[in-house]
Amino acid sequence: MAEVPADLSAFADELADAAGAVIRKYWRTRVEVISKDARLDVFADEPVTIADRESERVMRDMIEQRYPAHAILGEEHGAKGDGRTSEWAWVLDPVDGTKSFITGKPLFGTLIALLNYGKPVLGVIDQCVLKERWKGTSTKTTFNGRPCSTDDCTSLQEAMVYATTPEMFAPGLETRAWNYLSSRCKRALYGCDCYAYGLCASGSVQLVCEADLMPYDYLAVVPVVLGAGGVMTDWEGRPLTLPNHDLSKGRVLCAANSKLHSEALAALRKAPPFSRAARDAFLLGVACGVAAMAFLRGRK
């Protein structure tokens, strides 16, 4: 994995500082909330505020002025260049957890990833209200400037597992996989957005399992988790990179260590092919079919 130049590492902090200054202006104020997907789907529920858009614009302007050759992918303002093939690319989510932000819950965060040819090599999770910042590479992660590390728990039965919401798992395979995994953990918890990954890097949470994510939702988190001693892949064990996004389908698994990751990955793969209700309905249908065939044969 590429070494991160010192100037780019320092610049990531500058970006987080600038975004945080904008976000704090709007924190717990009556900001207008709109749905970014309203034109595509009247039932969509993807809120966005001026804090999201303005803070991303500030970061993009800084990147374009300092490093005009770098590619950019942002949640609010789209792509400049191709982050999959560029030597350096920035992936930005100015307010990961907009629903938390608009309801006054300080568990949202600014996510900043630096990619080298599509692979995340530097990540920042910044919570500007609580003044908490995780910053990681593949070999080292710090929390507010001090080294941090993941927990040594290796058993699902002793692990806390987080997901932003159970609604993020699509009906069918994803929901069954989540239910199977979470039922084997000590406790399933919800509602932290990117903050849960920071807690994993600091050793407070052992697992995070999510689905339906976009690259700007998880690429910044990968170096933070890896540098703290954790493991983060998709549900098939593949590395999380921008080129791999279509294969990964937005499904991510974060674990405090390799042993726990292996157990969690195995649990996701062992999810039953049918829910209990679907299985019972299927068996009932088979039984009814057999009975009907026997009845018809008896009438001949």
| Residues annotated in a binding site for Mg(2+) | 75, 93, 96, 217
**Quick one: DSSP state of residue 298?**
H
Nearest to 107 by CA among 164, 32, 187: 164
Tokens of 17: 């500082």
- Residues in the annotated binding site: 75, 93, 96, 217
Residue that the structure tokens 């260590």 belong to: 257
Which residues does 101 contact at the CB level (< 8 Å), separation at least 6? Answer: 23, 27, 49, 51, 95, 108
Q: How many CB atoms lie within 10 A of CB 270?
A: 11
Interatomic CA distance for residues 78 and 72, integer angstroms: 8
The alpha helices in the chain, defined as continuous H runs, are 6-26, 50-66, 98-102, 173-183, 195-201, 215-218, 221-227, 245-248, 258-269, 276-299
In order, the DSSP letters of 50-90 are HHHHHHHHHHHHHHHHH-TTSEEEETTTEEES-TTTSSSEE
